[in-house]
Amino acid sequence: MKDDWKDFLSFNKAERRGIFVLSIIIALLLIYKFIGPFNSEEAIDFSKFEQQVEIYKNAQDSLKTKKTSSNYSKNNKRKIGIKSSHLSNFDPNATSKKEWLEMGLSEKQAKSILKYVTKGGKFYSPDDLRKLYCLSAQECELLIPYVLIFESMDDENGNEFSTQASWEKDTIIMELNGATMDNLMEINGIGPATAKGIIKYKEILGGYFSIEQLREVYHIDSSRYSQIYIHFTINTDSLVRINIDSADYYELKRHPYINKSLAYEIVQYRTMKGNYKSIDELKNVKGMSDSLYQKIYPYFALSKK
């Protein structure tokens, strides 16, 4: 039995040589591992990753800046008290403080305009209102259609200044909502097609609440509007108003200022909250902007209680 173990553990000359060579190979591999290229850690390039991180960081900073700017603009936006329903034709060179206030201007704005006139400032055309820093662009857009310069005057160089808005004794003046096609065609610049367009759009709207709305008539461009607007006044008593508490989706979306989405939201708000307590509540309807509200509020009425 002992001899069998000896035979198993003993090696012949060839086997011993093989073991020796194998040991040398193993030793060389171990040495190569510790001092060869496997020992040097490959450097990882993080530059691309760092660039992506920097881009993301800049994007976040930019977004924060935009949000801050937007919030600032929102918080500092001047509230506009002017409503077209409060306006009638006026000459800014002769308008009193009380009259400016009745139009919806603030005390500060009225004083600023009167100070300008008192110190020799003059309005030669309706667009001169845009020169006043106390009036915003939106306020000027509301006021300009009602400006009439009632007297001829000299410009800064002493030359007589003439303007399409200058008042003349024979100027035809008519109330826009009550005008017929024959009435309209008495005005220079209004032919049959334009008169028909004015009447048709009045019916679609439910009446005009601002002379400025003539710009929306298909046949009236800026040039023609400048020629004809001085001939009109507005009476909003004849406006056809929509009952906000009973109008359905289909009635609402027929109005040119109300699209399908807004019509749905107006009805949905009423379904959720109950009848509207005031027209101003329309501002809470989803999709209702301030500018859109200013356009549509004259066309709504509450149920009589």
| Total domain count, the chain | 3
Tell me the pLDDT tens digit for each residue of 63-121: 555 454 444 344 444 556 776 666 777 888 888 888 888 888 889 988 988 888 888 88
Asked if residue 177 has pLDDT above 90, the reply is yes
231 and 250 in a single domain? The answer is no
In a domain, 221, yes or no: yes
223 and 285 in a single domain? The answer is no
201 and 135 in a single domain? The answer is no
Q: In terms of residue numbers, what domain contains 154?
A: 84-161
Q: Select the highest-mean-pLDDT range: 5-9, 21-25, 62-66, 289-293.
A: 289-293
Note the pTM of the prediction, 2 decimals: 0.49
CB atoms within 10 A of CB 80: 16
Average pLDDT over residues 174-198: 92
- The domain boundary, picked from 186, 220, 238, lies at 238
Tell me the pLDDT tens digit for each residue of 220-256: 888 888 888 889 998 888 899 999 999 999 999 999 9
What whole-number distance in Å separates Cα of residue 127 and Cα of residue 225?
A: 14
- Cβ proximity of 245 and 278 under 8 Å: no
Report pLDDT for 26: 82
231 and 260 in a single domain? The answer is no
Asked if residue 38 has pLDDT above 50, the reply is no
92 and 157 in a single domain? The answer is yes
In percent, the amount of the chain with pLDDT more than 70 equals 71
Average pLDDT over residues 36-48: 52
Average pLDDT over residues 27-40: 65
Instruction: Give the model's confidence band at 130: pLDDT under 50 very low, under 70 low, under 90 confident, else very high.
Output: confident
Report pLDDT for 221: 86
Instruction: Give the model's confidence band at 49: pLDDT under 50 very low, under 70 low, under 90 confident, else very high.
Output: low
pLDDT mean across residues, the chain: 78
What whole-number distance in Å separates Cα of residue 5 and Cα of residue 12?
A: 15
90 and 155 in a single domain? The answer is yes
184 and 157 in a single domain? The answer is no
Looking at the DSSP bridge assignments, the partners of residue 154 are 160
194 and 151 in a single domain? The answer is no
Two tokens, residue 66? 């935009």
- Cβ proximity of 227 and 212 under 8 Å: no
Report pLDDT for 241: 93
224 and 264 in a single domain? The answer is no
Report pLDDT for 199: 95
In a domain, 227, yes or no: yes
Instruction: Give the model's confidence band at 29: pLDDT under 50 very low, under 70 low, under 90 confident, else very high.
Output: confident
Two tokens, residue 183? 């009435």
In a domain, 110, yes or no: yes
Instruction: Give the model's confidence band at 298: pLDDT under 50 very low, under 70 low, under 90 confident, else very high.
Output: very high
In a domain, 57, yes or no: no
In percent, the amount of the chain with pLDDT more than 90 equals 30
What whole-number distance in Å separates Cα of residue 266 and Cα of residue 300?
A: 12
The string of DSSP codes covering 222-280 is HHHHHHHGGGEE--GGG---EETTT--HHHHHTSTT--HHHHHHHHHHHHHH-S-S-GG
In a domain, 287, yes or no: yes
In a domain, 9, yes or no: no
184 and 156 in a single domain? The answer is no
178 and 226 in a single domain? The answer is yes
Question: Cα–chain-centroid distance for residue 130?
Answer: 20
Report pLDDT for 135: 87
Rounded to a whole number of angstroms, the distance between the first and last alpha carbons of the chain is 121
- The domain boundary, picked from 238, 258, 285, lies at 238
In a domain, 219, yes or no: yes
Question: Which CATH number fits the domain that encloses residue 226?
Answer: 1.10.150.280
Instruction: Give the model's confidence band at 262: pLDDT under 50 very low, under 70 low, under 90 confident, else very high.
Output: very high
Asked if residue 270 has pLDDT above 80, the reply is yes
Q: What are phi and psi of 121, to 5 degrees?
A: -70, 140
Report pLDDT for 46: 55
Question: Which CATH number fits the domain that encloses residue 106?
Answer: 1.10.150
Two tokens, residue 157? 């160089």
259 and 231 in a single domain? The answer is no
Report pLDDT for 71: 46
What is the maximal distance between C-alpha atoms in the chain? 145
- The domain boundary, picked from 111, 134, 161, lies at 161
Report pLDDT for 169: 44
In a domain, 229, yes or no: yes
